[in-house]
Structure 1
Amino acid sequence: MTEKKRITFPENFWWGSAWSAEQAEGRGETGKAETVWERWYKEQPYRFYNRIDSSITTDHIHRYKEDVQLMKETGHNSFRVSISWARMFPDDGVGTVNPKAIAFYKDLFTEMNQNGIKVFANLYHFDMPAKLQDKGGWESRDVVDAYVHFADTCFKEFGDLVYHWFTFNEPLGPILGSYLEDFHYPNIIDFKRGAQAAFFTILAHAKAIQAFKKYSFESKIGVILNLSPTFPRSQNPADVQAAKIADLFYTRSFLDPMVKGEFPSALVDLLAQNQQLPADYTESDLTIISENTAQILGLNYYEPRRVKARSSAVNPESPFLPEWFFEPHIMPGRRMNEYRGWEIYEKGIHDLCMDIKNNYGNIESFISENGMGVANEERFMDESGQVIDDYRIDFIKDHLAYLWLAIEDGCNIKGYHLWTFIDCWSWINSYKNRYGLVSLDLPTQKRTIKKSGEFYKQLSDDNGFDYDVDLLVR
C-alpha cells in the first residue's frame, strides 16, 4: 500500500474560478443593449431548459459585494470575469459609452482588489449585442472595429484595476454553434461563412492586442481557448490521419494564429481544396495577426477528443463539415460525467500542458476552466442545506494531480481556475447542471458554500493537498 504525498504548487499560484457577464450579472438597471441570447430567448424560448433566460441569473450586479466575500471564503486569490459589451455600449454595442457600466465595473474591480483577489478581465464571452449580429456579427469588418473600440475603452477605463486581460473566451464555440452545430444564435449551417467569422475573430484578437500595446500596463493580454488533446482510436494510419485533421479543425485553428501568429498550412490547404477559405482577407490582416499574439494563454480543459477514420462515405450533397474527415470514437471503458455527457480523463490536462510546452514556446499559461456539472444536486444536501459534493472534490484533486505533474515536467503553468464560483446560468442548458463551489437557490438567490467550496479554501491556504502520486502515469 502506497502512502500519500504532499503535492505543493508554485509560490503565488493563482487559485480561483471564472464566469461571464451574461451568465452571472443579470440585466440590472444600468442600461444594456439586447444580446443575441436575449433575442434568441424571445424568438425560441422552448430551446432553453425550463424556459429560464438570463435576465436575473445570479444577480451579481446587485450582490457583488456579498459575492466578493464569498470568493474570499472559498479561497480565491484571483477571479475571471467578463465585461459586458452590451452594458458598456447600450446603444446597440456602439455609440457613447455607458457611465453606469463604467461605475459598476470600477466598483466591482476595486472591491476585488481590496480583498486580495486579482482581476482577470475577459472582453468577450459569447454575448454579441444583437444589433451588431444584425450587421453581420463576426462576419463583418465593422463589427471587428466596434469590438476594438470597446476593448480600447475598457483598457482606458479599467487598466489600472486589471491584473491580466483576455480578448476572447473559447472563440471556437460561437463558430461551431452559429455555423456548424446549431447551438448558438443565429443558427446558420454554412462552413465558409463560419470560416470568415473565425478569421475576423482572430483579426479582432490581434487588433485588440495592438491597441493594448499603446498603454504601459504591467498586465499582460492573452486569450482563453477550449482545448482537448486529440487521440486516434488506434495507430492504424487511417485513424492517425483522422485525428490529425480533427486536431487541425478544433485545436490548431485558433491556437496557432492567436499564439504563433500564423495559420496551420495543412488546414489552409484542406480548406482551399474544398473551396471553404474565407473570401475577405488581406495581406495587411495577416501582418497584424502575425505581429500581435497572445502574451498569456488560458487553457479550458474538460474532456479529451477521441476520433477514428470514417466508416461510411460522405454525402456530397450535405453541408461541408469537419466530420467529413473523421468520426467520434467511443472508447470502451471510458469514465463519464453522465450528466453532461463528457468523458472524465484527468491525464488529458497533463497532455494538453505538454503540447503547449513543446509546440508553443512554453508560453505562460494557466488552467482557466475545469469543472464538473451535476444535475439535481439538492439530492446531496445535508440537513443544514449544504451540498456534500465529494465527487467534485475528487474531480478537482485528480485533475490537479496531473497539473502538478505537468509543472514538475517543466510546463509554465501559473494557476488553476475552476468553472465556476456560484452556480450560474449556462446558456441553453440554463440551470440543468450545477458547477459552482457555492450553490444558488434561484427563487431566493440564497448562496450556500458547498463542501467543495470549503475544500477549495483549504487547498488555497495550503497551496496543495495530499495525494497518492504513485497512481499518476506520464
Structure 2
Amino acid sequence: SYGKLTPNKFPEDFLFGTATASCQIEGAWNLSGKGENMWDRFTYNNPELILDKSNGDFACDSYHKNKEDVALMKKMGVQFYRFSLSWSRILSTGFAYKINPDGIRYYNDLINLLIKNDIILLVTLFHWDTPQPLEDLGGFTNALMVDWFEDYARVVFENFGDRVKLWLTFNEPKQTCLQSYDQNRKAPGYNSSGIGGYLCAHNLIEAHVRVYHLYDTEFRSKQNGKISVTIDTHTGWKQLQTQQTIRRQLKEDGRFW
C-alpha cells in the first residue's frame, strides 16, 4: 500500500534545499591553480556537441559570486545546500602529491560562509568532472582510479571534515558510467558499448566502498559525520509494465550494479 499524501503540507522534519555541481556553476576554469577536467577538454574539442556551443569557462561565475549565491539562498529560506567539490581545483593534476592551496582556501571560505548563514552542508566529492590527466589514463575504466579517488577523498576529509557532516561520494554513478564510457553522449565521449560502462561501474562502486570505509575507520569518530551516495535509476516508474518487462529490467540493473 502507499502512504496517503495530504495536499499543501510537508512533514515537520522536511528540509528545503538546492543543489549544484562545481563544473556547472563555478567557472574560473583555469584560475588560481585549477587544473583541466574532462568537461573542459570535451567542450573545447567538441563544441558542436553542445547545443549553444557553450563551455564551463564562466558558467554562473559562482567562483567569484559565491557570496551573492549564499545571500540569495539565505533570502529564499534555503535550509541545506548540496554542492560538489572540483577535484581539479583541489588537486591540480588529479594526484594527491600536488594540493592546490587556492582551491582549499576557496572551499574553506564557501563552507564557512554557509555555516555563518545557518545553511546545512551536503557535499559531493565527485559530480562527473574527472581531472583530465586521470582521464588520459582511462578515467573510471582504469582500476587505479580507486586508489586515486581515495587519495583525493583523504585530502578533502582532512581539510573540510571538521565542519562538513554530510558527505556523498558520487552523484548519479549510473549516468556517469553509461553516458561517459558506454554511449558516447557526454564527456569524455568514449564509445565502448557493453565494456566501458561496466568497467566504470565496477571501479566506481569499489571507489565508493573504499572511501566509505576510509571515512568510517579514520574520520567518523573524530568528525561525527555521515557518508552515502546519490543513486539514480531508470526503472520506468511512470509507465505500466508487465511482470516480464519488470524482471528483465531488474536483471539488467543487477548486471550493471
* Global fold match (TM > 0.5): yes
Read off the aligned partner of 1:219 and give its amino acid letter: G
Deviation string, structure 1 residues 341-385 (Cα, Å, up to 9, x no partner): xxxxxxxxxxxxxxxxxxxxxxxxxxxxxxxxxxxxxxxxxxxxx
Q: Percent identity?
A: 29
The residue type equivalent to 1:201 in the other structure is L
CA RMSD of aligned residues (A): 2.1
Partner residue of 2:200 out of 194, 197, 200: 197
Distance 1:6 1:233 in 2: 26
Asked if 1 retains the 8 angstrom alpha-carbon contact of 2:92 and 2:100, the reply is yes
Cα distance in 2 for residues equivalent to 1:246 and 1:120: 31
State the structure with bigger RCO (CA 8 A, min sep 6), 1 or 2.
1
How many Å separate the matches in 2 of 1:247 and 1:25?
Answer: 37
* 1:211 partner amino acid: L
Match of 1:212 in 2: 215
Q: How far apart are the structure 1 equivalents of 2:238 and 2:119?
A: 41
Which residue of 1 is the match for residue 230 of structure 2? 224
Preserved contact between residue 227 and residue 251 of structure 1 (Cα < 8 Å): no
> 1:232 and 1:78, CA in 2 relative to 1: closer, same or farther beyond 3 A?
closer
- 1:68 corresponding residue in structure 2: 70
Count matched residues: 247
CA distance in 2, matches of 1:35, 1:58: 17
Q: Distance in 1 between matches of 2:254 and 2:60?
A: 32
- Alignment CA distance shift 1:244-1:117 (3 Å): same
Change beyond 3 A, Cα 1:51–1:232: closer
Tell me: CA distance 1:118–1:41, structure 2 relative to 1, closer, same or farther (3 Å): same
Structure 1: runs of 5+ lacking an equivalent: 255-474
Retained in 1: the 8 A contact 2:96–2:155?
A: no
Give the TM-score normalised by structure 2: 0.89
Q: Secondary structure at the match of 2:128?
A: coil
How big is each residue's C-alpha offset from its partner over 1:154-182, in whole Å with a ceiling of 9 and x where there is no partner?
01100022130000000011211123322
**Partner in structure 2 of residue 188 of structure 1:** 191
- For 1:227, what is the secondary structure of its paired residue? coil
Contact 2:198 2:256 in 1 (8 A): no
Which of the residues 73, 91, 94 maps onto 2:93?
91
Partner SS state of residue 68, structure 1? helix
Change in CA separation of 1:8 and 1:134 when aligned onto 2, cut-off 3 Å: closer
Larger Rg: 1
Q: CA deviation at 1:133?
A: 1.0
Q: Does residue 243 of structure 1 match 2:252?
A: no
1:244, 1:200 → 2: CA distance? Answer: 26
Aligned-partner Cα distance in 2 for 1:156–1:170 = 25
Amino acid in structure 1 at the alignment position of 2:9: I
Q: Distance in 2 between matches of 1:210 and 1:107?
A: 28
Partner of 2:162, secondary structure, is coil
Match of 1:27?
A: 28
Query: 1:40-55 alignment to 2 at 5 Å?
Result: 40-55=42-57
Contact kept in structure 2, 1:172 and 1:250, CA below 8 Å: no
Name the aligned partner's letter for residue 15 of structure 2. Answer: W
Q: Deviations over 1:129-176 (max 9, x none)?
A: 111011111121222111110011101100022130000000011211
* Aligned residue runs from structure 1 range 214-293, under 5 A: 214-215=218-219, 216=221, 217-231=223-237, 239-250=242-253, 253-254=256-257
Mean CA deviation greater in 89-98 or 54-63: 89-98
Structure 2 match to 1:156: 158
Distance change (3 Å), C-alpha of 1:189 and 1:98: same
User: Contact conserved, 2:145 with 2:203, CA < 8 A, in 1?
Assistant: no
Q: Secondary structure at the match of 1:55?
A: coil
1:248–1:94 CA distance, 2 compared to 1 (3 A)? farther
Q: Report the equivalent of 1:14.
A: 15
Equivalent residue in structure 2 for 1:125, among 127, 132, 150: 127
Residue 9 of structure 1: how far off its partner (Å): 1.5
Q: In structure 1, what is the Cα distance between the partners aligned to 2:255 and 2:224?
A: 29
Quick one: distance in 2 between partners of 1:39 and 1:145? 23
Q: Using a 3 Å threshold, how does the CA distance of structure 1 residues 160 and 94 change in structure 2: closer, same or farther?
A: closer
Counterparts in 2 of 1:43 and 1:211: CA distance versus 1, 3 Å:
same
Q: Taking structure 1 as reference, are residues 66 and 231 closer, same or farther at Cα in structure 2, changes over 3 Å only?
A: closer
Which structure has the highest strand share of the two? 1
Alpha-carbon distance between aligned partners in 2 of 1:78 and 1:163, rounded to the nearest angstrom: 12
Q: Deviations over 1:399-453 (max 9, x none)?
A: xxxxxxxxxxxxxxxxxxxxxxxxxxxxxxxxxxxxxxxxxxxxxxxxxxxxxxx
